[in-house]
Amino acid sequence: MSSFRYVAVDQGGQVVKGNMDAVDAESVIERLQRQGLIPVRAEPAAQKGRVAEFFTMDLARRRGLSKAEVAGFIRELGIMLGAGQDLDRALRFLVETASSERLKGVADDLRDKVRGGSTLAGALAHHPESFPDLHIGMVQAGEAGGSLAETLDRLGMLLERERSLTSSVQSALLYPAILVVAAGSSIVLLLTYVLPQFVPFFTQSGAQLPLSTRVLIGLGDIVAKAAPWALLVGVVLVFVAKRMLADGARRQRVDRWLLDLPLLGRLWRETLAARFTRTLGTLLKNGVSLIAALGIAEKTLGNREARENLSAATTKVRTGSGLAVALEGFDLFPARTIHLLRLGEETAQLAQMALRAADIHDEMVRTSVQRIVALLVPAITIVMGALVAGIVASLLTAMLSLNDLVM
């Protein structure tokens, strides 16, 4: 069992802190709930070592909060407000329990602005690098409707779902990436270190080496000499590509090409559909108007071509068209998305159907990624194994030719 630090709120709205021994954080949360407390945070009590701190510190020095910090901040603020705390006291609690100086500074600034008469949405608007329009729009609607705690809870769930989907995709692709790096490094090592060890022996023998061996020796020389230049060229290409993609029209052409890819394009469309429907459903359920929700959802799409299509569809909705009909005119989202949105409009349950569509798309993305990885890993293993076997076979063939020469 491990020791966990916890923060909770009791029935009277008082903050309760302490340590508890348990198997995992979920056990701590369940035990606190059985005691009638509202859990806010549960984390391991063990302090990080210096090595762990080095690898987890913010090397990039981002101006804003990370997505994990924003999600945690929104979730904890919603819990505190739901437990009966006023906004000032909830923000003070977040300042006192902030996990980083950056988070503490943002929370402290929000509290100062709220105490100065600003709304929470107005205070969040001063930190656009941490809180985008989606967060500000939802909070503004929650404050206007008197349901800020419920709004923050929905927003926290939205952020957690998005982070969960991203983590699932990244985790699934991690093993193939490691496999490619390891196999590629092995091939480079064979060409640039192992094979050159035999070159003097082959040269002294004066034998005519097989063509495959001569090709590999030449390829190893090229790789050894060109590796530093290849790295430099790669860095330059990345920089040039970044500058070129800064142009809006060029970026849109690239994004359109990504959506048209045979397999990855379909996966990208499913991901965009999941992000769009979950954002739209959450905003509509929170009381945001359809036009405003579409404008906010448009900004959450990372693909410029998708944003342009959605903007055109929003224009049609403004003129009186239905959302499903407007989106149907663009080959952007899967047919499943259009069908569910049309059903939601016909039954006056657009928010619920949009969230249902988001769950379906999330599952489709996870399933598709798992299938791609299931096919990719054996393919990478076979290809890299064949390359390594070819190098070793070519080397053995050359050595056997030398034995024939001696005989």
Q: How far apart are the first and last CA of the chain?
A: 69
Q: What does 10-44 look like in DSSP terms, one character per residue?
A: -TTS-EEEEEEEESSHHHHHHHHHHTT-EEEEEEE
Name the residue among 262, 74, 271 with its Cα closest to residue 159.
74
How do strand 2-9 and strand 15-22 relate by DSSP bridges?
antiparallel
The upper half-sphere exposure of residue 123, i.e. CA atoms within 13 Å in the direction of its Cβ, equals 20
Burial zone of 58 (CB within 10 Å; 0-12 exposed, 13-18 middle, 19+ buried): exposed
What Å distances lie between residue 11 and 40, 42, 82, 91, 344, CA to CA? 13, 18, 11, 19, 39
User: What is residue 222's three-state secondary structure?
Assistant: helix
User: What is residue 8's three-state secondary structure?
Assistant: strand
Placement of tokens 């429907």 in the chain? 277
pLDDT value at residue 223: 78
Name the residue among 188, 206, 184 with its Cα closest to residue 196.
188
pLDDT value at residue 392: 82
What is the Cα–Cα distance from 44 to 3, expressed in whole angstroms?
Answer: 6
pTM value is 0.66
pLDDT digits (tens, 9 = 90+) for 342-378: 999 999 999 999 999 988 998 888 888 888 888 888 8
pLDDT value at residue 54: 41
What is the Cα–Cα distance from 203 to 265, expressed in whole angstroms?
Answer: 51
Phi-psi region of 207 (alpha: psi -120 to 50; beta: other; left: phi over 0): beta
Helix axes 248-259, 304-318, angle to 10 degrees: 90
- Residues of the chain below pLDDT 70: 1, 9-15, 38-41, 46-63, 205-208, 401-407
Buried b (16+ CB within 10 A) or exposed e, 189-215: ebbbeebeebeeebeeeeeebeeebee
What is the Cα–Cα distance from 78 to 37, expressed in whole angstroms?
Answer: 15
Q: Which domains does the chain have, with CATH numbers?
A: 2-160 (1.20.81.30), 161-407 (1.20.81.30)
pLDDT digits (tens, 9 = 90+) for 295-329: 888 888 878 888 899 999 999 999 988 999 999 88
Which residues, listed in sequence order, are joined to residue 39 by a DSSP beta bridge? 8
